[in-house]
Structure 1
Amino acid sequence: MNVDARRERFASIAPVVIDAVRRYLARRTDPATADDVLSETLLVCWRRRDVMPAEHLPWAYGIARHCLANAERGRRRQARLAARIAVLDPPPQAIDGPAPADDELAVALRAMRAEDAELLRLWAWEDLSPAQIAVVLGVSVNAATIRLHRAKQRLRKLLAPAGHEDSTEGSRP
């Protein structure tokens, strides 16, 4: 494939990738980080356009996932540095505002293991199949299917009203 053909192929799929990855990142981080990670993701996609598979969106989600992880590690390093500096030169006290209201699902997702919450987000928010989730996470389709099933069970338990028995879904009266 010549240079022009590769460039045209990338230009034809870029709008779909940009929109989908932007939504993916917006649900996982703040707007500024999302913009930075989107830029980094597109750069990696451009550099690796020769190895881009036919099903490019899950592949791009996988790249975005890794870029976001790198950005989060950088944010944690900055926070640790700021904490060390704050010990040496404490900032003036800030007035705390009201805590944001959380819905039951957001609370349950935060209570879950990060890996389980990410599986559920990929499935529900990004509307990916287990096969596509496997591409994003770099695991087998079987592993993605099993992990997704278990994550759904854990979420169901967290969302179950207190004092209720297990779901009677699928049972007859």
Structure 2
Amino acid sequence: MTEEESRHRQRARFEALAHVVAEPLHRYLLRRTGADAVEDVLAEAMLVLWRRIDDVPGLAAAPASPPDPDDVLPWCYGVARGCLANARRADGRRLRLMERLIRTQDRQPPGGDDHSDLHAALAALGSLDREVVRLWAWEGLTPRQIAEATGLSPNAVSIRLHRAKKRLAEQLGRKTNEPSGHKRDEGRSSQ
């Protein structure tokens, strides 16, 4: 059997299976979740059935006749049940993430530090420069690692990072020759 014949046979088996199970799975999901999620979960279940077509019990190797629903539906219900559980877990993760983001935004940092000027300065950078700075400052990546994450060369990352830091310093009003956080008389004796 050629590869094309094999693909054709697999497609015919799946179409025969889908014809038998799509409507019952749709009803099954409608009774267990909101109407807005049914189509997505059903699509995911059908994708799993396509990928695991050889594992479906009761499905003949050659689609001479449609499969018997009593033979294939129980296993397909199990697939739909698993896909629904995955969708619910994903929804829960998204909800927890949104709640955490809202709590983080609402919470003022200790000492009442306001970083709105920093966020405004970051927003003034181009999107790629902003991402390079964030990867460097927030994620602690080296220019070589940033290059891997962004698809730029390490040299281009170093140049972008240097220029972006310079623009940020200018926008934040730190155009002095002293490194930030140092006092002029620091480390000197008072004699």
Higher relative contact order (CA 8 A, sep 6+): 1
> TM-score normalised by the shorter chain: which range applies?
0.3 to 0.5
TM-score, reference length from structure 2: 0.43
Name the larger-Rg structure. 2
